[in-house]
Structure formats: C-alpha cells, structure tokens
Chain A
Amino acid sequence: MSEKENLMKGIDERSPWRDITAGGFVYGSGNSEYFNTGDWRTRTPVWKPEHCRQCLLCFPVCPDSSIPVSEGKRGDFDFGHCKGCAICAKVCPFGAIDIVAGTESAEKGGEEA
C-alpha cells in the first residue's frame, strides 16, 4: 500500500524481549497501515458508485482512514482496515453506501494489504 519502510517490521507478539524497542518506542509514523484490522469486521459497507455524488462527507468521518481519496474522488473501501463501523453509511446523504452482514469483502481487503 505504501512505499515507505516499516521500521517496526519483525517486532510482534512473538518477539523476544531483547528485540522490543527501548521504552516500547514506536519508530516511524503511520504504522497502523501495517496492522490489518479488516478481519475484525462483522458487517461490511458496499459502495454504490452509481449513487455516489463524490460529496466526500464519508471520508473525514471514517475512524480507520479506510476510504481512499485520490484527485478529489473517493474509491472503493480499503477492506484491509475497514472495521465495518458503518458511520460512512450513516452520513451519506445519497444512500450510496449499503451495510451488509458478514465479512464478505474481508478476503479482498486481505489480498490488498
């Protein structure tokens, strides 16, 4: 997804204590990108581009930055990180986001991540 280096690569819940950073410092920024939360989802937003007017009200309210915006237009959800909170669907004035039960797009997100 990003080309920057993951400075925390290799440090995880199996790391021995000598490999944990001093003070638990987290090196680098935007590290949440490397942490896949898409599989926490129990319901899934479905974006309907035909109803979307690109008003972008959904983008700032997403708590997980899972609505990618490029050149002023949103694209499909980042299912690698979307937790299915459905706030986007709540704010959408045009009914362009449906919420469906299940995690059906999780696999797709997983592939992307």
Chain B
Amino acid sequence: MTRKDRMSGNQAAAEAIRQINPDVIAAFPITPSTEIPQYVSSFKADGLIDTEFIAVESEHSAMSACIGASAAGVRAMTATSSAGMALMYEMLYVAASDRLPIVLAAVNRALTGPININADHSDSMGARDAGLIQLYSENAQEAYDNLLMANRIAENPDVMLPIMVCQDGFITSHGIENIIIEDDAKVKDFIGEYRPEKYLLNPSESLAVGPYSVSPYVIEMKRAAHEAMKNARQAVADVSADFARVFGREYGFFEEYRMDDAEYAVLVMSSAAGTCKDAVDELRAAGIKAGLVKLRMFRPFPADELADALKGLKALAIMDRSDGFSGTGAPLNAEVRAALYGKADVKTAGYIYGLGGRDIKVDDFKDIFGELADLAAGKELPYCRYIGVRE
C-alpha cells in the first residue's frame, strides 16, 4: 500500500532498491552513501529481497562485479560517493561502452582533496563524460522516484546505457524528510522484468562481451553510444510520463518553477533548488519576477529545451556545485551557455557555490537575484565566480 513516511535520502534509496529487488548488488562502503548497501544487506538478511549481495573489496571491483552481472543478463546496482566513484571511473566507461544498464545510486560528495566528506558535485561531474545517464534529485522523494525510473530508462533497447541517480550527500542523504513510498506490487509492476536481448548466461547463444577493439571499430562504437545517449532523452520522457500516470508525480528534463513570466532565473541542481524556491516565493511576494529552473537530467543534456525555457529572460544565474578548473567557468555553466548560444540571447552569470558542503541559504539566492537585476541593467558581472567564499 502507498504510505506516507519520513526517512533520510539514503533510506529512500534503499527502499527503492528493496522494491526493485535487483538480482545483484555489489558495493563497497564510503561516506555518505554507506547506509544504502547497509540497509540493503539488512533487507537481504531479513529475507525481504533475494538479491545476491556481493561485498567487494573496492569500488573498482563493485562496478566490475556489476558489469559481470549485467553482462550475464541480470539487473545489477551499486551505490557510491566521492573517492569511491573516482575509483570506479575506469569501470564506468567500460559499463557504458559495454552498453550495460547498471543503476548507480550516487550520493554526491566532494572529491578529495582537501579531504572532506560533505556535499558537492565534483564526483559525478568527473564522471560526466563516461557515458552514463545522470539524473539529479532535490530531496529524498526525488531520489526514490528517480531510482524507480532508472532501470526502465537504462534498459530501453534503444538506450542500454548505465544510469546514475544523484542526491546531495548529508543534506538529503542523512536528513529526515517526509516521503511517499509506493506500494510494493505497484512498483514491481511498473518496473517489470528485465529481458536483455543478448546475455552471457544464455545457454543457447554464446557471446563475448568487452572485446579489444582495434581503431577501425572504436569510433563506430562511440558513435552508437552517442546515439544511445540521444535516445535516452525519449526514454527519460516516456518513463517519466508513465511514472506520472501511475504514481501521480511529474518529472521533466528539468523543473520550471514560476517561470511563466519570469524575468530573472536561477538554474541549479539538487537540494539547493528547494532553498531557491523559497527565495523565489519571497521575491515574487515583493513583486520581483523571479523563477527557477531545476535541472534534473544532466546527461543527456537537454540543450534545446533549456534554450527554449530560458529565452526571454532578462538575466540568468547558472549555479555549479563543482569547479571543473577550466579557469573560466564550471561544467554546468559551460553547457548551459553552449545551449543558449545562437538560440537565446540571455545575459548570464555563473556561480560556483557549496563546495565541500558549504551551506547556501535563501538569502544567498536573494542576493544572486539582486545581482541579476544589476546584470540586466547593464552592469558587468564575471562570466563565473565563487560565492560563499571568504574574500
């Protein structure tokens, strides 16, 4: 039965995994995602799932084991964060290249160094070119919902790519919030069975996975994965529409909050979007036409749709929770600017915020909206700059 509950984002992810009941989970603990495999191993011990839980010796092995399991023909999942994800990077590329629909519950944490355990997006941004679909979640509910959709998106025959569902470390992974947990049977029905076309443990067909590719094949394989990532757009749209039909919660490539007549907007991902919504409401009450675009889908990147949603704005703030160290702007900023180029003449200001868990407040967003008004009025603002930093 559908139930109202309260739990942390990690518990919510674990609940999703319990309901998905994947065939294999291979994981290695790392803060702040440790609780996810911990809860899942309890479910296993309590007989609530029949998942094969593989306690591996590293994240590299976790993704390797998932690759083996997924290639064998079953649903495989893992969870990780930060340095653990970095140790997985090599195998993330392999998972994507092998076109295996592995689901990764990611809990975003700063990538060392300096050593820090708190939230930022440097870990998943480091994996942005690996070929995984990436969805970002504002709160525990969205982390849960995105995970319920993840398998179907990844397993779409036109896609067949691994997927990463991200939420902010500690801020949502360890905070208790209200959540709606859907009925087990209804979720099972929604997710359905996984029936891969080709798989290693098929006794009637032999198969080799992950062979060496000489140069005459590599670019063709990348081109095919490129197409699969493009196809993921439709898969995300379709599965999200079906999710809305079954469970009533709607998800697009991004959420537009009070954008109808907005003049100034902030574009941000994950937990900070909720904080920004409060700022938007306060500014709206004061007569300022503020709005928010919360990007849910970073890979594939919905460039055309974003350009369409953002055109007509007087000014836009693009918020990155990682640097990227291009020396100019951070990754989200660069991609949004590229999306706008030639399509929408919007003045933008890039901001790098919240690194290593640095808090961002409603007032910070109000300040940013204030700067956007200055920008629209003709004041020069840097292409991208740090906020919340001691000058």
Contact = CB atoms under 8 A, between A and B. Distances in A.
B160 A22 contact: yes
A21 B210 CA distance: 11
B100 A28 contact: no
Contacts of A24: 97-98, 210-211, 213, 217, 221
A21 B220 CA distance: 10
B130 to A, nearest CB: 14
A20 interface: yes
B316 to A, nearest CB: 36
A20 B198 contact: no
A27 B198 contact: yes
A29 B209 CA distance: 11
Interface in A10-29: 13, 15-18, 20-29
A71 to B, nearest CB: 26
Given A13-B216, A22-B99, A22-B160, A27 B221 contact: no
B216 A25 contact: no
Contacts of B211: 24, 26
A104 to B, nearest CB: 29
Contacts of B206: 27-29
B69 to A, nearest CB: 15
A32 to B, nearest CB: 11
B379 interface: no
Contacts of A15: 220
B260 interface: no
A24 B208 CA distance: 9
B223 interface: yes
Q: B interface, how many residues as a size bin? A: 20 to 34
A25 B208 contact: yes
Given A20-B224, A22-B224, A27 B213 contact: no
A9 to B, nearest CB: 15
B30 to A, nearest CB: 28
B360 to A, nearest CB: 40
Size range of the interface on A? 10 to 19
B391 interface: no
Given A25-B198, A27-B198, A20 B221 contact: yes
Contact of B220 (A17, A25, A31): A17
Nearest to B157: A22
A23 B97 contact: yes
Q: Which of the listed residues A17, A20, A23, A26 has the most CB atoms from chain B within 10 Å of its own CB?
A: A23
B205 interface: yes
Interface in B128-175: 160
Interface string A32-69: 00000000000000000000000000000000000000
Most chain B C-beta atoms within 10 Å of own C-beta, residue among A17, A22, A29, A31: A22
A52 to B, nearest CB: 34
Given A28-B206, A29-B206, A23 B220 contact: no
B207 interface: yes
Contact of B209 (A20, A23, A28, A31): A23
Contacts of B198: 21-22, 25, 27
A25 B209 contact: yes
Interface string B193-213: 000001000000111111101
Contacts of A16: 220
Contacts of A27: 198, 205-207
Nearest to B228: A22
Given A25-B208, A26-B208, A27-B205, A13 B217 contact: yes
Given A17-B221, A20-B224, A23-B160, A29 B99 contact: no
A13 B207 CA distance: 20
Q: In the complex, which of the residues A15, A20, A21, A24 has the most CB atoms of chain B within 10 Å of its own CB atom?
A: A24
Contacts of A26: 207-208, 211
Residue picked from B100, B205, B224, most chain A C-beta under 10 Å = B224
15 contacts: A15-B220, A16-B220, A20-B221, A22-B160, A22-B198, A23-B98, A23-B160, A23-B209, A24-B211, A24-B213, A26-B207, A26-B208, A28-B206, A29-B206, A29-B208
> Which 7 pairs across A and B sit closest by C-beta, in order of nearness?
A23-B99, A29-B206, A17-B220, A26-B208, A13-B216, A17-B223, A23-B98
